[in-house]
Structures are given as structure tokens and as C-alpha cells.
Amino acid sequence: MRLLIFYLLIVLCLSSCNAQTNNFILREKYTLHKSKKSLNYNLYINKDSTFIYTIGFGGSLVTECKGKWKLNNTRDSVVLKCYSEKPLASLNFTYMENRINIFKISKKGKTLSNERIVLKYK
């Protein structure tokens, strides 16, 4: 009986930690501003599993991607999948060619990083 209660407590603790991880990165705005090149990266992660990822240059929008996000199986990265766009949308100057972006979660959700940039939450 004690062993069963112990297992239930372990499962309860693990599931509550899991929920905290999800809530920690929800509704957050992650940004990076490179002043030398006037590049601005913004990632808005919404509670309903949608996101908006934009890259700007000199105050103008350069590229934008909207879609759905999810945590990977190991829960250490967030995977951003852009919505499919109409064929002619790829000719638009704001079309983001990389339709799937993966950001590693670090510093307890305070930073997201990929191979090129590190975004910090604001």
C-alpha cells in the first residue's frame, strides 16, 4: 500500500512539473535586437499553441511566419511549424522560406536558441 501511494506521489509530482514547464513558456514574447545590423527578431508564443515569428530590418518587416508550436518529445525544445501558404505567397517579400524552426529551451524558459540566434523573453 505504501508503495502504491509512493508511486502516486511520484506521478503527481512529475505531472505538476510538466504543467509548469508548459505554462512557463506560454504567452511569452522573445526578442533579439542586433543593433549593428538593425535586425529585430520577435517570437510571440500564445497559450492556444499558435505563434508569430517575425524578422525585421531597420524598423521594416522583412519576413513573417504564423503557425502552430509544440514541445518536442524530450520537452527541451519548441518546434514552430508555419502554416501552409498559397503558392503565390512565396513570391511575397515577407515569406519565410524556413517553414519549420526548432528552438532549444534554456535557462528555465528564459531563452530560446537555434543555430543562428538566441532569443530572450521580454
CATH topology of domain 2-121: Lipocalin (2.40.128)
pLDDT at residue 108 is higher than 90: no
pLDDT digits (tens, 9 = 90+) for 20-29: 444 454 447 8
Q: Is the dihedral of CA 95, 101, 107, 109 positive or negative?
A: positive
pLDDT tens-digit readout, 32-80? 877 666 788 899 998 889 999 988 887 777 888 899 999 988 888 899 9
Per-residue confidence band for 103, with pLDDT thresholds at 50, 70 and 90 = very high
Here the cell at position 98 is: 524556413
Of 38, 17, 57, 41, nearest to 122 by C-alpha is: 41
Q: Report the candidate in 58, 53, 61 with the shortest Cα–Cα distance to residue 98.
A: 53
- pTM for the structure as a whole: 0.70
Are 116 and 103 contacting, i.e. CB atoms less than 8 angstroms apart?
no
DSSP labels, 66-102: EEEEEE-TTSSEEEEEEPP--GGGGGSTTB-S--EEE
